[in-house]
Structure formats: structure tokens, C-alpha cells
Structure 1
């Protein structure tokens, strides 16, 4: 094969330099309108991507913020203070609108009128309420919640329960010489084996490898983690806080790195892991009832029907009413785990934080890119198992097994579910990559970002022009705006600005430390 080398394109060089200087390569242009002076200018806002495949600069910045967030909350000595904000005018207005819509829907229901349009509007308002920063549910569903027995499984050991203490920080331990220390935990949890694998993660016997169980465990892994946290808090006796990240092993099964505030004996943590399980109470998915071209058809007013007999398929609620005494699937953690005690400010703490943030700039599938034919076949087999596995009550794959998905609508087709759980880059895990408890550091990620910006501005001796958010209005830049420069020009402008800031920051740090600054250009080169 003859390889012909071509010089890099100018756009490619500009983007490479932008990444080198931490500049977003996919900036979002917005019009910034000063409501006081009337001044209008175009401003590039970073895209905020979390994956390096989309924007390396923003992904790296997000990873650094996450690691700072992890470090600040892990070994805190005082209870993080969380203050609940008072409802603002927009939130109150949306809730009032929600109340009016609910009253209109109740009237329509009493009169026997259709409520579908009102339900759609109510759902939109509910989304706006959540986007406005309101936690929880404004109006719970009037339909009674389906519940099952909370008795523990016979094959799961019982867990002790300690009286609850109103604290989130760990205990302080003392040594005979009077030294005090406050250790915390770093826990790594994995899923059980689905068959023997080689060092590269591929099965020794692919035909015997349990891909179905691997797919179901990946789909419901986040629920198993929730159960683990609940059990840890029950055994510990206080409101345990955690910071965790999910990433795949080489065999493609998700596993968890978790920083836990406070200390528990290793034996108790292992007992909690052994006693933790999650049951999936869903209709059975054995032999498919519909496949190929023989698929259920949509009929207005009744939902999906059998194309041959015209029989209406069971609804989701009807299918749940027919469940037996055994769940569809039971998840458990595997025997391989790691539990270690970590002290603040040590090398071990930095190493653990590095583990947590190691793959945050990559998608699940990019963490271990298949390099051999065996690895690629392993990925394809898992993807095949995930294709028709239901991922949620609303998944279109339920039609394959003769059940109408929850909130069924026209156009649904088995194997065509758009949930990210079925996409190859997620390998079945559709949950969040970073899991943070509410009282971890007392700050949101946005507040950590604001702290970082405030530190830079203070070091440079600058004022924050956006300190008064009500002063500015932001609008999208319309297509064809004559004031919008080409992307390459905007990137070059931002690169120059970033280099100036970095030089000024290095100069400010040198002056603050009392070091003589003799050559400003040398600082610029070092930046």
C-alpha cells in the first residue's frame, strides 16, 4: 500500500493550536445585549461538551472540575451547608400555570371530553418547571403506586441496622501519641462473571458466554448502585456521602469507582456488597411472539394489535398484573472488589481521584477501543444481545413479546428503540457517568466552575463583568449574520486572548510569591 503524505489543512492546524491552549473548538456564538447601555456584541460561549471526541478542551475542563469537586468533598471536616432558595417569580408563575391547566383537565375529564391535548401541554409545563430549578414533583400521579413486598430474598443475607445520626462527615480517630486523623473509603465494585475471559477481555468460549445476562446487568446497573448506597447508609447509621464514576472493564461490563466519605470496617463493606441486589419486576421476555415482518400494528383508539388475529395486545399495566412470584432478573455485584482506607492529602488520595476521573473524557465504548477481530466480535455479540432487550417500560422492544410499551404511540418498532442504552457507544449503560450525592461538597458543578473563574479574576486583578446577570440578555446569532466572523478567525482571536491571560496569570503568581520577574516574555513562553 502506498501512503501519500499531505500537508495538514489550515483549519486542522488552527484547531490543534486551540486545543493546545484549552480553547473550545465548537464555540456557540451568542448575541450579548447590555440592557443598560444598549451595546450589542457577538460572544463565543464554550460548547461544554464532556467527551473529547466532540471538544477536547471542554471535556478536559469538565474532567478537571469533577476532580476538584471530588477532592473538596471527600475529607471535609465540617458539615456542608445547603441553603434552599426561595421560589422566584418564574417558578411561581409556572406553578400557577400548572394549577390552571390541571383544573381545566379535571373539568374536561368530568365532562367526558378528551384530555390528550391538555396532558401534552401539562407535560411541557412540568418540563419547564424542572428546567427552572424546581426539585421533586409538583403534582404526583393520582394513580396508586404499584408496590411489592419488601421482604428480603431468602438467598440474600440480612443486614444490621444502626440508629441514624444527623451527620455526613466521618469520625475522627486518635493514635496513642495524640495524633488525630479522619480516614475515608475508596471502593471499587464489579459485576459477576458471565464466562471465562482472556486478558484482552474476550470470552474463552463465546458460545457459552452469557451475553443476555451481561446485557441485562448493564441496563440496570445504576439501580444496583442505588441499592448499594441505601444499604451502606443503613449499616453505617449516618447519611453517607459519595462521589463515583462508572466505566467499563475490558470485558465491557460496567464497574464502579466510589469515594465514600467516612470510614467503615472492610468486613462490613463486603457484607453490604454481598447482601445488595436489585430485582427487575417486568413481564417475561422468553421466546419472541412477533419478529421479522410479522409485527404488531397500530390501531387508533386501542393501541397495538396482533396483525393476524386483530387481538389487542396487553397493556403495560395488564402485563404487570399477571406477574408471578419471581422477578424477570436479579442483579448482584461480583466477588471481585477493592476496599481501601484513604487519608486526605496523601499520594493514595490523588491516585484514587485519578482513577475516578481517568475515563471521563471518553464515551463508554471509547474506554477500551477494540483492536483485534476477537474484541470486535465481542462488541458485536453484546450489541446483538442489547438490540431486542427491553431497556425501560417505554421501550419499543416490548412489542416483540406481545406487550404494549408504557405510553405506547404509533411508529414503534422492535429493535428501533432510540434510547442511548441500545447505542453501541454506551454498551447498555444509559445512566450518568458521574454520581454525586447531594451533600458531597455543598456546591453544584456550576458553583465549582464559578469559584474557578473568580479565582482567576482575582489573581489578575479584574472585575467580573457578569456579576449582575440581570444586566445582560442573550440571543442566538441568526444564520448569515454579517458581524459573525468565520470560525477560524474566532478561534485565532480566542487563542491570542487565552495566551495573554495565561501570561498575566503567571506574572501575577510570580509577584504574589515574591519572586523577581525579570523577563515577561519568558513567562509568556512558559505559559
Structure 2
């Protein structure tokens, strides 16, 4: 039986909204602008402004995602081949910041006296803890970066730091306070300062085909693949620590994490300065991360007999106050061990083994790169290539075998604990850290359990503190300052009123507010505004070019 010919496919005209979005993307306009209302606190004047959404995924907003990717590329380029130490300047604290810190010191001292002498010496401990939290928020709003190291005074739970016997030893050197690499002298007295582009991968879980799918799915170690993905960010942190201690200087890096075709995460890292391939392989081979968590080899509470929340359950005592509320065994009524109790049991067992040990594989690829070369630009493009995609979208599953591979990995991740607060711990007879009602194993909302992340719950971009001496916001401000400077040179003013003294208050406008127009209309206005700005910048560039071509008067 032959299939009838359906005939030619009729192409329908595009939808008006889709055309507007396509034109907006073409001209660099955000397609999901957030309506904000700015109020002048002195005059009461109100102005509505559409603010870009700032999303990092192209599937949500291609314009904002591409803008973020370019900023990351600039950040990578500016810090990779520095020949001098980056200077990070901090502003002096103003009067308000000093006053808030003094107030914070008094509240902290009062809180400590209450903790030692009891509530009779100045009120309830919970009141002072809440006040300290509010003061910390005010300090942050006042423009102070970082957080104060205060709070928990309980003894730190540690295990033996003796290295494992199945990994090579790693010598340590004192870390010098420098971040710039060595300078080499070439032929003819030419000097050059190479840097490193490094790629690290995880170990093998079984043979795979060219499309990333396993040759034999029944022997592919999905459980170890899931655990490696969950703890990959910790393994990277350990590698950086070991590398700095081994080479003896404060190694600076710009790194991105993306999946391989087999869906395992791997690391691309731009390192300032040069390190030999043998040393990098030695550090990678000696790096591991041990996960000292309760065992998960036995299902204590299957899906049909999950623990239930009991608001009257007594789960322990903190600072002399009894903690109420926790999960109990529905059959026996016994309270499940708390997270701290489960860790204490591991600490007291001399024969205990870590739940998992994450390691890198044998493949360590490193290449030297010089500044302002095609290789440097190629590597930067490769580092930022997949930042506008979610982890799962980097390699689209197109065949049935690839889709089945994704499903098997998702199944392995479903009941794998992703953190101390993961709901999956109830399945293994342990209360998660900071338990609350409504936790169900297999339905954890952690980032690692979302299908689009494939088990990796860390940050996609990892940048060391002294990479370029600038934050991402600083690089964004530099781009804005450059555009405004070009316009100013041509006599064009395009600045909006600044707010140095807190004159304006911002609030989000709701979609039902009368001054918030439909999305299509707002996009049309933004496209027109963008065209005008581009025309101004082109005019300014032409004017500057013409002026520079005029010879100076003798």
C-alpha cells in the first residue's frame, strides 16, 4: 500500500508578534523587558522604564544571553595575559557604613551576654539573632561588600586529613603573593609571556560510541557518573587548591563547565602564566574529593512507606532550646536520626568509608597560548561557546539511543542525594539538614536534580578573585563609559540622570498597571530607541574619524 502524496506544503505568513521579536533580536533589544517605575522622592515625579531581563539562556532571551556571553569573553581576555599585578581598589567607608558597623558591634556584644547569662540579662536570644540579621542586610544595602564571619560557634566536624593511599603524593610549596606568570626570552631579545588553556575530564564509566551513548548500557556505571556530576564543583575547587600549593604562586583562572557528549561535565580553564604539562598531570592525578555522607546502599523507607512529618517530634537541642518538629517512621513512630547524628555516627566509626570519591580521568589536555593571537581568540570563543545554553542543550539528544542515555542518567540522579538538605535522605533513613514539612524523596527541587542540568549543580563560570581586578559589573560599566565617551567627543549627550544621593526609588510595575503598555508596543518603542542610539553612535564614530583625519595646524 502506497502512502498518498500530501502535496506541496503551504507556507503561512509569519505572526506579527514573532516578526517584532525577530526585529528586536536583530537590533539587540531584550524581548522580555521588565517594566520598572522610578519615583523621584523629592518631586514625586514618576517615570516608567523598561529594564532588560538579563537572562543568561538564549532559549529565554537571545539578546540578553548574547550580551552576557560577550561580557564574559571580555572578562576572560582582559585577565588572561596580564603582565602586571591587578590592582583592586576599595573605597573608604563612609559615615553611614561606620555607624552601622558600630551598631552591629553593640548588638553582637549584647547577644553574646544573653547567650552566656541567659534571657534575664537583656532579652530573648532569638530577638538578638533576628536583629543581627536585619543589621547585616542594612550593611549590605549601604554598599559594603562581603559578609562578617560571625554566628555558629559549635565545634567544627573534621575527619582525618591523611591522604589516600591510592593516589600519588603531592609536594607543597609556600604560596607567593603573585599572580603573574614568568617571562621568557626568545630569539633576538624578544620576550613573551605564555599562558595555559587546560581541559580536565572525569574518568570513564564504560566505552562509548562517537555519539556519546554507551556501547553496553547494562555495564555503564550510571551511579558513579551521577555522583561525579553532583560533586564536580568540589573536585574543581580541590584541584585549584592543590595547583596553587604545588606551583607556589596564587594561580588565577577563568573556567567554564560544560558537558561532553557522554553527558559528563568537564572543565575548560584559562590559566594566567605557564605551568608544565607534566606538573598539571601530576596535580590532576593527585586531586580527589571525598564525600563523607551517610551511606545510601540500602533503601530504609521505600516509596510506599515513606516517613511522615510530626510537628511534635523532638529532634535535639540547640543553645539550650529544644528543637521540635521532624520526620518519624510511620511503622514504629521512632524519630529518624538527624543530619548531625548521622555524621557523628560516621565520625565514631573508624572503619567508615566515604560515600563517594570523585577523581579526574587520565585525559589532561594543556596548550600554551600567547596574547593577541588567533589561538587566544579561538580559546576564548571556545570557553564561552555554550554559556548561553543550558547544560542539557549543549548536546541535543537527536536519536533514540541518545534520548535513552539521558533517561538512564536522569533515573540515576532521581534518588541520589545532591546536598545535606536534599529530600532524598528520607529514603535512606536520615532526616535532611534543616528539615521542613512536605519533603518527598525523588522530588527534590535542587538544581542538580533538574533535567536541564544533568546532575551538575555548580556555577557554569568560575573566575578567581584576582583575575582582572574587575567584577562583571565593572566590565559592563566600562562598555557603557566607552559608548558615552564616543558620543561626548562628537558633542552628543546621551546620559540619564544619575542617583548619587538616593533621590529615586524603584519598584516593579505590574502588568495590569495603566501605565504599562502591551509587550508588543513596548518592544516597538525599544526598537525605535535602539535605532536612534545606533544612529547617534555611528554619527559620533564618523565625526571622530573625520576630525582625526584633519592635520594639526603647524
Q: In structure 1, the residue corresponding to 2:392 is in which secondary structure? A: coil
- Counterpart Cα distance in 2 of 1:116 and 1:364: 42
What are the residue-to-residue correspondences of 1:93-108 with 2, within 5 Å? Answer: 93=100, 96=103, 100=107, 103=110, 107=114
What secondary structure does 1:65 align onto?
A: helix
- The one of 465, 486, 505 equivalent to 2:518 is 486
Contact in 1 for aligned 2:510/2:516 (Cα 8 Å): no
User: 1:24 is matched with which residue?
Assistant: 30
Please tell me whether the aligned partners of residues 263 and 341 of structure 1 are also in contact (alpha carbons under 8 angstroms): yes
Q: 1:441 to 1:466 in 2, by over 3 A?
A: farther
Q: 2:416 aligns with which of 382, 389, 408?
A: 389
Mapped to 2, the partners of 1:390 and 1:121 lie a distance apart of 34
Partner of 1:497: 529
Cα distance in 2 between the residues matched to 1:16 and 1:281: 51
Report how far residue 29 of structure 1 moved: 1.0
Query: 1:95–1:7: structure 2 CA closer, same or farther, 3 Å change rule?
Result: farther
Give the secondary structure class of the aligned counterpart of 1:513.
helix
CA distance in 2 between partners of 1:129 and 1:196 (Å): 54
- 1:353 lines up with 2:380 in the alignment: yes
Distance 1:264 1:275 in 2: 16
Equivalent residue number for residue 508 of structure 1: 540
1:196-215 equivalences under 5 Å are 196-215=207-226
Matched, 1:53 2:59: yes
TM-superposed deviation, 1:397: 0.6
State how far apart, in whole Å, the 2-side matches of 1:452 and 1:386 are.
Answer: 42
For 1:212 and 1:91, the matched residues in 2 are separated by: 52
Q: Give the conservation status (yes or no) of the 8 Å contact 2:119–2:125.
A: no
Write the mapping of 1:237-386 to structure 2, written as runs, cut at 5 A.
Answer: 237-300=248-311, 301-302=313-314, 303-323=326-346, 324=349, 325-386=352-413
In the alignment, which residue of structure 2 is the partner of 1:233?
244
Name the structure 2 match of 1:185. Answer: 196
Q: Distance in 1 between matches of 2:367 and 2:236?
A: 18
1:63 and 2:69 correspond = yes
What is the aligned length? 517
* CA distance, structure 1, for counterparts of residue 506 and residue 35 of structure 2: 10
SS of 1:218's partner is helix
Tell which deviates more after alignment, 195-204 or 100-109.
100-109
8 Å CA contact 1:108–1:114 kept in 2: the answer is no
User: Which of the numbers 451, 458, 465 marks the counterpart of 2:496?
Assistant: 465
Report if aligned partners of 1:285, 1:401 keep a CA contact under 8 Å in 2.
yes
Shift of residue 502 of structure 1?
A: 1.6
User: Which of these two proteins has the greater Rg computed from alpha carbons?
Assistant: 2
Task: Judge conservation of contact 1:459–1:505 (CA < 8 Å) in 2.
Answer: yes
**CA distance in 2: counterparts of 1:121 and 1:383, whole angstroms:** 43
CA distance in 2, matches of 1:366, 1:127: 37
Partner of 1:141: 152
In 2, Cα distance between the equivalents of 1:203 and 1:99? 62
Offset at residue 318 of structure 1 (A): 1.1
Query: How far apart are residue 129 of structure 1 and its match?
Result: 5.5
Task: Quote the offset at 1:256 in angstroms.
Answer: 0.6
Which residue number in structure 2 is paired with residue 521 of structure 1?
Answer: none
Summarize deviations over 1:209-260 as a string: whole Å, max 9, x none: 1111000000000000001111111112111110011000111100111000
Alpha-carbon distance in 1 for matches of 2:541, 2:264? 45
- Residue 494 of structure 1, CA deviation: 1.1
Spell out, residue by residue over 1:100-152, the C-alpha distance to the aligned partner (whole angstroms, 9 max, x if none): 48846974893499967876776676567667653144414111111112221
Question: 137-146 vs 123-132, which deviates more?
Answer: 123-132
Query: 2:98 and 2:402 mapped to 1: Cα distance?
Result: 50
Deviations 1:158-205 (A, max 9, x none): 122233322111111111421111111110111111111111111111
SS across alignment from 1:322 = helix
Match of 1:15 among 21, 27, 46: 21
SS at match of 1:258: strand
3-state secondary structure, aligned to 2:425:
helix
Q: Secondary structure at the match of 2:436?
A: coil
Q: What is the correspondence of 1:146-185 to structure 2 with a 5 Å cutoff?
A: 146-185=157-196
Q: Secondary structure at the match of 1:273?
A: helix
Alpha-carbon separation, structure 2, partners of 1:90 and 1:137: 14
State which drifts further: 190-199 or 77-86.
Answer: 77-86
SS at match of 2:202: coil
1:455 matched to which residue of 2? 482
Structure 2, unmatched stretches of 5+, are 1-5, 315-325, 550-554
Q: Normalised by the size of structure 1, how large is the TM-score? A: 0.92
* Distance (whole Å) between structure 1 residues aligned to residue 455 and residue 109 of structure 2: 37
Distance 1:460 1:83, change over 3 A: same
Q: Whole-Å Cα distance in 2 between the matches of residues 117 and 411 of structure 1?
A: 28
8 Å CA contact 2:211, 2:261 repeated in 1: yes
Deviation of 1:40 (Å): 2.1
Asked whether the equivalents of residues 35 and 510 of structure 2 are also in contact (C-alpha less than 8 Å), the reply is no
Alignment RMSD: 2.6
Identify if the C-alpha distance between structure 1 residues 178 and 466 changes in structure 2 by more than 3 Å, giving closer, same or farther.
farther
Q: Indicate the SS of the match to 2:305.
A: coil
Residues 82, 398 of structure 1: CA spacing in aligned structure 2 closer, same or farther, 3 A cutoff? same
Residue in structure 2 matched with residue 520 of structure 1 by the alignment: none
Q: 1:16 to 1:264 in 2, by over 3 A?
A: same
What pairs with 1:1-12 in structure 2 (closer than 5 Å)? 5-12=11-18
Quote how far apart the aligned CAs of 1:261 are.
0.5
Task: Tell me what 1:407 maps to.
Answer: 434
In structure 2, the CA distance between the partners of 1:408 and 1:91, relative to structure 1 (3 Å rule), is farther
Distance in 1 of aligned mates of 2:471 and 2:548: 38
Instruction: Tell me which residue corresponds to 1:224.
Output: 235
For 1:164 and 1:307, how far apart are their aligned partners in 2? 54
